[in-house]
Amino acid sequence: MPLSEQEKLALLKINSFSYLRADWANRLLEIFGSAENVLKQDAKTLSEEGKISLETAQKFLKNAAALDAQAEMDKTFKVGGHILFKGEAGYPQSLANIKEPPLALYVRGKLDDGEVPSVGMVGTRKVTPYGRRACAMLAEDLARSGVILVSGLARGVDSIVHTQAVKNGKVTWALVGTGIGRCYPAENRELARAIIDNGGAIISELPFDAPPLAQHFPRRNRLIAGLSRLVVVIEGECKSGALITAKMALEQGLDVLAVPGPIDSPQSNGTNMLIKQGAAMVLDARDIIDAMPLNVKFGLNTKKLYNEETLQSDSFTESESALLNLIGQGSKTIDDLAEESGMAISEIAGILFNLEVSSAVHCSDGKYSRNRF
């Protein structure tokens, strides 16, 4: 059911109090039935019913009263943006499912709310020459394949990720630690415009003019993870923001991948630790695409990554090549292959056995898919 304008204004007021965790805010909404009703309560009632301290309840109501919610909407619309509210059409389902879904999202540009091939790419602001090369290579290959790159518009790795997407005319989403009315760092202003012009989006849960406060950035990392199908860490120290994003991705049930780095580089300590703890190692873009859920991989343009630069057709027999071509970049059962090839199942089984032995294909749940080389 669409929300009333008054309810939206009340939600923006509640959403603006960054010291109140989103799951607490959602609990208050469940208790009192609506955002309007929440704001009608006194601090004592909010404290007792919502299980928050009286001091927090008082600050919350003071902050809500101070925010001009109508001005928030007007300023957002003036710059061509829009605000998505939890529970309404257009709000990303992947964010609605996380532990702390924001009540409102400010968006400049276009944010797809469906099942899309999005990959979070994060890392240090103090990127090394090695990290810069690795990040640019991976981001460019993924962007050219049609993957939506998700990052934070910060200096270092984030900027490289977005730049590679824009450079190739592809979509990228930037989750920022300020309001969408600001650009931080300021030198990324042109990059932010290019992101929007290329069909991407600048996204924040913070009020329109919110400044780049330190506490904003760790919280926005859960949104980077929430809009991604998996997260790749390029470089980062063990206690860096990138590792916070990795932790949040794991909590959301996502796969985390990491780029290995020199053991004497502090900026690779975090990624090497993630790999040691079980994160998948990334050596090229194919590692990332292989780890993506099957339902979002269809439609990606991976021909150059998997075909032209990998499989050597002269290393297979005519029958093996025929089956590999039928499998393509998807997966097929023996019955599928028999129907499409006209070969006997017994013959196909023998060919597939040889292909498995040579590591050309693998079988999962009765379906055969091609391996990388």
Is residue 235 helix, strand or coil? coil
Domain with CATH 3.40.50.450 in the chain: 118-297
Q: Where in the chain is the domain with CATH 1.10.150.20?
A: 1-67
Structure tokens that stand for 33 in this block: 């039935």
- Model confidence at 174, pLDDT cuts 50, 70, 90, reads very high
pLDDT of residue 372: 59
Q: Which of 329, 344, 297, 282 is nearest to 139 (CA)?
A: 282
At the topology level, CATH places domain 118-297 in Rossmann fold (3.40.50)
Average pLDDT, the chain: 92
Is the pLDDT score of 359 beyond 90? no
What's the CA gap between 101 and 168, in Å, rounded?
32
Query: How does DSSP classify residue 304?
Result: I
pTM of the prediction?
A: 0.81
Q: Where in the chain is the domain with CATH 1.10.10.10?
A: 311-370
Q: Is CATH 3.40.1410.10 what the domain over 311-370 is classified as, yes or no?
A: no
CA distance readout (Å), 202 to 107, 151, 175, 208, 366 = 6, 10, 6, 12, 42
373: confidence class by pLDDT, cuts 50, 70, 90: very low
Closest C-alpha to 195, from 209, 207, 205, 180: 180
Nearest to 23 by CA among 120, 105, 113, 96: 96
Q: What is the mean pLDDT of residues 66-92?
A: 96
Q: Would you tell me which CATH number, out of the four given (3.40.50.170, 3.40.50.1110, 1.10.40.50, 1.10.150.20), belongs to the domain 1-67?
A: 1.10.150.20
Q: Retrieve residue 244's tokens.
A: 């916070």
Report the pLDDT value the prediction gives residue 314, as an integer from 0 to 100. Answer: 53
pLDDT tens digits along 218-242: 899 999 999 999 999 999 999 899 9
- Look up residue 308 and give its DSSP letter: I
Q: What are phi and psi of 134, to 5 degrees?
A: -65, -45
Taking only the tens place, the pLDDT of each residue in 122-153 is 999 999 999 999 999 999 999 999 999 999 99
Structure tokens at 73: 């909407």
- The HSE-up count of residue 317 (CA atoms within 13 Å, CB side) is 9
With a pLDDT cut of 70, the percent of the chain lying above it is 97
